[in-house]
Amino acid sequence: MNDTTTGQELSASLMAYVKHFKLPIPSQIQSPNSPEQLEAIASSILTFQQKQGMIAIAPAQFDHLIQQAIEQFSAENVETAIVDPTTQALVQDVHQWQQTLENQVLDTLTAYVQMLPSGQLENLSLENLSLQDLSKTILSIVPLVDNGQLRKLEVDSLIQSVTSKFNLKTAMEQLVGSESLAIAQQLSKSLQLGDLETLLKETVLGNSQSLVDQLNQPIENITEDFVNSKLAELLGNNALQMDIDVDAQQMMVKQVTFKLNVIQSSPTPTKSAEEIAAQIDNETKDFLADRNTNLDFSNLFNRS
């Protein structure tokens, strides 16, 4: 399937999605929807199709196809748009996938909060929650519940949705399944290894000039195999004096690969290499400023 055909089908799917789920249209006054949300939907459609093996798109073409779909989107034609059965089925499947992923992330976050010792829960309050820190924690959950590579547009939309729905009081009273509890335990273990994750990010990216070189290559070049090789180098360094089991290593590799690729998949215009280097450096400084490894709610969401 060529890019023209894929672009036309994406435009039709975006129109069908907005129509079927009766989303407010960006051109309408005081609409909660925005072009960024439409871009996120278009990105999700492409990602879902790739996950299902329906299409194969090079990372460089993602932004081009999304922008093409946005440019062709007509708010005036939504109500009268004719949607064929195949497109209708596709957008329903995409939406179901989005909802399933959102519920998994929300359930895992809920299970994680419930895992806190009762003594720490006594001081728990909504005022303790930082939106930025909560977003970082949600970002850490995503690769634990979804094996696919989401792009930044989709991740930002997912974080926004989960954050808006998370309710501390409800979370403490909610029943969670064994699968969510198991993932929450993985999350807890991952957050305890925050400084190793930061060090691994730095090792993968190297100095700023190496980062520039990395960003001139396709996103796929930061693979789990590559990250795993860098982790092996770190763990082989006697000065590090850290011993983690195989499961923890695999989880660390997934986290770092996912987060670095999400950062790099920013929509056009992309951040410069220097800006991304500064972003990662800031995250590193934030983490090093709070090295307390005790799991309490005040530092619960302060892991990068």
Tell me which of 45-49, 176-180, 284-288 is least confident. 284-288
**DSSP readout, 231-287?**
HHHHHT-TTT-----HHHHHHHHHHHHHHHHHHHTPPSSPPPHHHHHHHHHHHHHHH
**DSSP readout, the chain?**
--HHHHHHHHHHHHHHHHHHTTPPPTTSTT-S--HHHHHHHHHHHHHHHHHTTS----HHHHHHHHHHHHHH--GGGTTT----HHHHHHHHHHHHHHHHHHHHHHHHHHHHHHTS-HHHHTT--GGG--HHHHHHHHHHHHHHH--S---HHHHHHHHHHHHHH--HHHHHH----HHHHHHHHHHHHHHHTHHHHHHHHHHHH-SHHHHHHHHTS-GGGS-HHHHHHHHHHHHT-TTT-----HHHHHHHHHHHHHHHHHHHTPPSSPPPHHHHHHHHHHHHHHHHT----S--GGGTT---
Higher pLDDT, 108 or 193: 108
* pLDDT, position 36: 84
* pLDDT, position 145: 93
* pLDDT, position 46: 95
* pLDDT, position 127: 47
pLDDT band at 279 (very low <50, low <70, confident <90, very high): low
Average pLDDT value for residue range 213-242: 74
* pLDDT, position 168: 81
pLDDT band at 292 (very low <50, low <70, confident <90, very high): very low
Mean of the per-residue pLDDT values for the chain? 78
